[in-house]
Amino acid sequence: MVEIDAGGMYYRLLNEKIKALARSGCKEITVRNVCGQRYIGAGFDFKDLRINLYGTPGNDLGVFINGTEILVNGNVQDGTGNTMNSGRIVVYGDAGDITGHSMRGGEIFIKGNVGYRTGIHMKEYKDMRPVMVIGGTAGEFLGEYMAGGMIIILGLNGGNLIGNYAGTGMHGGTIYIRGKTPDVIFGKEIKIFDLEEKDYKTIMPYLERFANYFDCSLEKIYETKFRKIVPVTHRPYGKIYSY
């Protein structure tokens, strides 16, 4: 394992260093004293690389990433996993706004809470199915314009599970929420259902992974029933035009 001290380092240099190490065959890189460096892992294509970050990485962590695992020991800022293609981001803390914006594949695990507009315009394609598991709560506009993939909100730490306008303009994918349906304003385009057996089967591997990463009890997670938010149509705006 190789270590980099990112203290005072500008993001461009940091990314260059990480890339150079990865190209030389390095499989695991630990970066300490991360503070505000943006775009860590931008467009990375290193399939079996793992990056351990200590500190607070800057915005757009893992933007356009295409297969690398990033573990963050700390909170992350805005735009984590922006337009991500594949790979995995695990955050041992909270995440900021627009986490997983437009992500098309890969996985994001957040131990704590996420900010506003999380999973906005997530989409899926063929066997690419993005998944985001959030241990805590999410802000407003969760899964807005969501077109595919799944978001799982666990609410393990209490607080308001989700904010208003979840699933606005949603036309694909599923949001799983743990616990009773919160008393918030939902987007017009969604419906809420109880889970069927097969739904539990679908989310199980991700919950297991979540429990594994964050060392929490799977039983505790299952103690509370899940519900799911799904779009009523994948053509939400088909009828507002006069042809």
Partner 1 sequence: MAKSKNISDFVIERDQNRCIKCHACVRVCANDVHFKDDATSEVASDDSKCVGCHFCEDLCPTGALVIRKNPSETRENAHWKKEYIYRIVRQAETGGIVLTGMGCDRPYKNYFDHILLNAAQVTNPSIDPLREPMELKTFIGRKIDAVNLDDLNWKTTSIDEIMSGLLELEVPIMFSAMSFGSISLNACKAIAEAAKLCGTYWNTGEGGLHQSLYPYADRAIVQIASGRFGVSSEYLSRAAAVEIKIGQGAKPGIGGHLPGEKVSQEISLTRMIPQGSDAISPAPHHDIYSIEDLRQLIFAIKETVDYKKPVGVKIAAVHNVAPIASGIVRAGADFITIDGVRGGTGAAPVVIRDNVGIPIEIAIAVVDQRLRDEGIRNQISIVAAGGFRTSSDIIKAITLGADAVYIGTSALIALGCHVCQKCYTGKCNWGIATQDPYLTRRLNPEIGTKRLCNLLRAWSLEMKEMLGGMGINAIESLRGNREQLRGIDLSEIELKILGIKHAGESW
Binding site for partner 1 (CB under 8 A): 11-12, 15, 38-39, 42-45, 59-60, 63-66, 78-79, 82-83, 85, 98, 101-102, 104, 117, 120-121, 123-126, 128, 144-145, 147-148, 169, 171-172, 234-243
Least distance in Å: CB of 15 to partner 1?
6
| Residue 167, burial from CB neighbour count under 10 angstroms (0-12, 13-18, 19+) | buried
Decide whether 111 or 171 has the Cβ nearer to partner 1: 171
- Terminal Cα-to-Cα distance of the chain (whole angstroms): 61
Decide whether 128 or 216 has the Cβ nearer to partner 1: 128
Instruction: Using only the alpha carbons of the chain, give its radius of gyration.
Output: 18
Least distance in Å: CB of 105 to partner 1?
9
Decide whether 60 or 94 has the Cβ nearer to partner 1: 60
Place of tokens 């890339």: 19
Decide whether 198 or 239 has the Cβ nearer to partner 1: 239
Place of tokens 């799983």: 176
Q: Tell which residue, 136, 138, 135, has the closest CA to residue 119.
A: 138
Tokens of 163: 């904010």
In DSSP terms, 177 is beta-bridged to: 153, 227
Least distance in Å: CB of 180 to partner 1?
28
Q: Contact at 8 Å (CB) between 120 and 132?
A: no
Least distance in Å: CB of 82 to partner 1?
6
Decide whether 28 or 45 has the Cβ nearer to partner 1: 45
Least distance in Å: CB of 169 to partner 1?
7
Tokens of 164: 């208003």
